[in-house]
Structure 1
Amino acid sequence: MRVLVTGSSGWLGRHFAARLRQDGHRVTGLDLAAGPETQVVGSVADRRAVERAFAFGADAVVHAAGLHQPDLVRTRLQNFVDINVSGTLALLEAAKAAQCSAFVMTSTTSLMIDRAIREERGDAAVWLDESHAPLNPRNIYGTTKLAAEGLVRLFAQEHGLPGVVLRTSRFFPEDDDRPTALLSGPNIKANEFLNRRLSVEDAVEAHLAALSHAQQIGFGLFIASAPPPFTRDEVADLKRDARAVIARHFPDAAELYARRGWQLPRSIGRVYDPSLAEATIGWRAKTDFAAVLEALRTDAPLPFVHDASYVSPKDR
């Protein structure tokens, strides 16, 4: 298959493009920044760059390019519209004209978080799945990604272009955008595998599953996150005393954390539920909180990447 991958120099894009090549597919990479997986340097908002990329031939598109949360402090609001919305539209129109068999878009769970959820105002954790509504993104990033999702849905319904949207949870290697002096970067990431994180390897597998199932399902929207060890009936306890809930599921977690000088979360305000992706496209993340604890238990390398010095190629 000939696959056009946007964002091919980025953290997800370069991992995904390399995996496609490994599986025998022919890949064309489009990115603002040069890189080993990028053949066309340009923006998805530049229709001439999109045309150059499609000139290599494309049977499917995996759209991983876009402006993200960290870009809020360093770029104009208009750029979010140009790249995340207009760029997605340009790709969809080109994919339709090329009669592509699948269009897979990387979206974000961030667009599901309004201010009330972010500030954890309720008495219980919020259990988030694809049925969560109404959606009220708290910034231009989430607003434009939600608009782009709507375009993918529209082209599936109106033009028969099979589309899958993946709302991915966090898989970036750099430090959190809201660091705390109390917890190290690896400690924060390990905690997030309880409710809101994904390894980049599992993100790649989710996109592969979406690509292979797009024609079958026509349109699909899925949360891609590590499976939480909790159940919906534990949401009040998670908000009140997360450590007690974690101890019920993992009796040695506190001891394993103590050996590293780490801390478990005292309270958890939201949980992403990826079970629809498992039921529909057969994808389930391999790296979860149990895998993190097993690494601590056996003194093995942590099953995720932390690189505090990482800078996206487009920002260098």
Structure 2
Amino acid sequence: MNILLTGSSGWLGRFLAPLLRAAGHHVVGVDVAPGADTQVIGSVADRAVIDRAFADHAIEAVIHAGGLHKPDIARYPAQAFIDVNVTGTLNLLEAARAAGHDRFVFTSTTSLMISRAIRDEAGDAAVWLDESSGPIEPRNIYGVTKYAAEQLCRLAHLEHGLNVVVLRTGRFFPEDDDTHGDPPGENLKANEFLNRRLTVEDAARAHVAALDAAPLVGFGTYIVSAPTPFARADATELKRDAAAVIARHFPDAPALYAARGWRLPDTIGRVYDSGAIQRDLGFGFDTDFAAVLAALRNGARLPFAHDPRYVSPKERPLAPQE
């Protein structure tokens, strides 16, 4: 198929485009920044850009992975989030419907599930989050616009029969956290594989699986995060003494972490459960917390990306023209 991939110059796009080509698809990338897999430079908020891409490249399906993200809150006004994340999604859905498409994949975020109350972690147990969790009360403009875009996807299915899979992805960015610096870098990312992170490679593979499954799913929303080793019964102890729960599941974790100079989390306030995508789509994650420990145990390279110097292509200055 001729696949329109938005966000093709970004972190996910650089991994997703090659996977799509390997699966036999022709990829047409759309992004505001140039990149190796970007053929169309422009914003999804500009309907003319989308219509031209569809007409020029005979687009047959869409993976909408582009958009403004949580760190962009510090750089862009609320209206930009509405223009890109909401209007941009509507432009793509309407173009896909007009073209008679039978599948559409939308990259959403687990962040929209986190209300201020959940963010404050004031309860006496970790919050267990799956596709049935609610009510959805996003705490910032990023979450609000992503949730609005999800609802546009739902309406496109209900009103026009467009098959849509929404993927609420956990964290897979390579840069340091924009709000938390302790524990630092790699240690924090390793910890997050327990409850809220996945590799960018697994994120890309999930999108390909969603593209294949969309006609069978009809409409579906799936959390995409590395399988947690915990059960709901662990929730209270995770909040009180997460390190003890981790050591019970992984007896050598404390020693492996100590040898690296790392710290296990003292408390875990929320857990994302990705069981539905594993059951419904038969999707298997390649990397989980056990894989992180295996790398530590064997002295191997860590199975996730960490690049504190990473800057999104849309934020990089253009090279001077010769």
Name the amino acid aligned to 2:237. D
> For structure 1, which segment, 10-19 or 28-37, has the greater mean C-alpha deviation from structure 2 after superposition?
10-19
CA deviations on 1:95-119 (whole Å, 9 max, x unpaired) are 0111112100000000000111111
Q: Work out the CA distance in 1 between the residues paired with 2:17 and 2:205.
A: 12
1:312 matched to 2:312: yes
Q: Work out the CA distance in 1 between the residues paired with 2:13 and 2:53.
A: 15
Work out the number of aligned pairs and report it: 315
Q: Is the 8 A contact 1:29 1:53 kept in 2?
A: no
Name the amino acid aligned to 1:92. L
Q: CA deviation at 1:15?
A: 1.1
Q: Is the 8 A contact 2:19 2:208 kept in 1?
A: no
Percent of residue pairs identical: 63
Residue 145 of structure 1 is matched in structure 2 by 146
Q: Work out the CA distance in 2 between the residues paired with 1:249 and 1:183.
A: 21
Q: Work out the CA distance in 2 between the residues paired with 1:282 and 1:149.
A: 23
Equivalent runs, 1:241-252 vs 2, <5 Å: 241-252=241-252
Q: CA deviation at 1:22?
A: 2.0
CA deviations on 1:266-313 (whole Å, 9 max, x unpaired) are 000000000000111111321000000000000000000000000000
Name the amino acid aligned to 1:84. N
Residue 104 of structure 1 is matched in structure 2 by 105
Q: Work out the CA distance in 1 between the residues paired with 2:100 and 2:27.
A: 17
Residue 63 of structure 1 is matched in structure 2 by 64
Q: Work out the CA distance in 2 between the residues paired with 1:145 and 1:235.
A: 28
Aligned residues: CA RMSD:
0.7
Q: Work out the CA distance in 1 between the residues paired with 2:192 and 2:82.
A: 29
Q: Which runs of 5+ in 1 are unaligned?
A: none
Q: Is the 8 A contact 2:19 2:205 kept in 1?
A: no
Residue 136 of structure 1 is matched in structure 2 by 137
Q: CA deviation at 1:215?
A: 0.3
Equivalent runs, 1:33-182 vs 2, <5 Å: 33-55=33-55, 56-180=57-181, 182=182
CA deviations on 1:161-204 (whole Å, 9 max, x unpaired) are 10000000000000011232x42200000000000001000001
Q: CA deviation at 1:23?
A: 2.1
Q: Work out the CA distance in 2 between the residues paired with 1:183 and 1:126.
A: 22
CA deviations on 1:14-42 (whole Å, 9 max, x unpaired) are 21111111222111000000101000000
Matched residue of 2:143: which SS? helix
Q: Work out the CA distance in 1 between the residues paired with 2:85 and 2:137.
A: 17
Matched residue of 1:122: which SS? coil
Equivalent runs, 1:25-40 vs 2, <5 Å: 25-40=25-40
Q: CA deviation at 1:214?
A: 0.3
CA deviations on 1:190-223 (whole Å, 9 max, x unpaired) are 0000000010000011101110010011100000
Q: Work out the CA distance in 2 between the residues paired with 1:179 and 1:162.
A: 38
Equivalent runs, 1:288-307 vs 2, <5 Å: 288-307=288-307
> For structure 1, which segment, 133-142 or 18-27, has the greater mean C-alpha deviation from structure 2 after superposition?
18-27
TM-score where L is the length of structure 2: 0.97
Q: Is the 8 A contact 1:124 1:235 kept in 2?
A: yes
1:284 matched to 2:276: no
Q: Is the 8 A contact 2:68 2:142 kept in 1?
A: yes
Q: Is the 8 A contact 1:113 1:136 kept in 2?
A: yes
Residue 202 of structure 1 is matched in structure 2 by 202
TM-score where L is the length of structure 1: 0.99
Q: CA deviation at 1:225?
A: 0.2
Q: Is the 8 A contact 1:228 1:272 kept in 2?
A: yes
Runs of 4+ in 1 over 3 A off after TM superposition: none
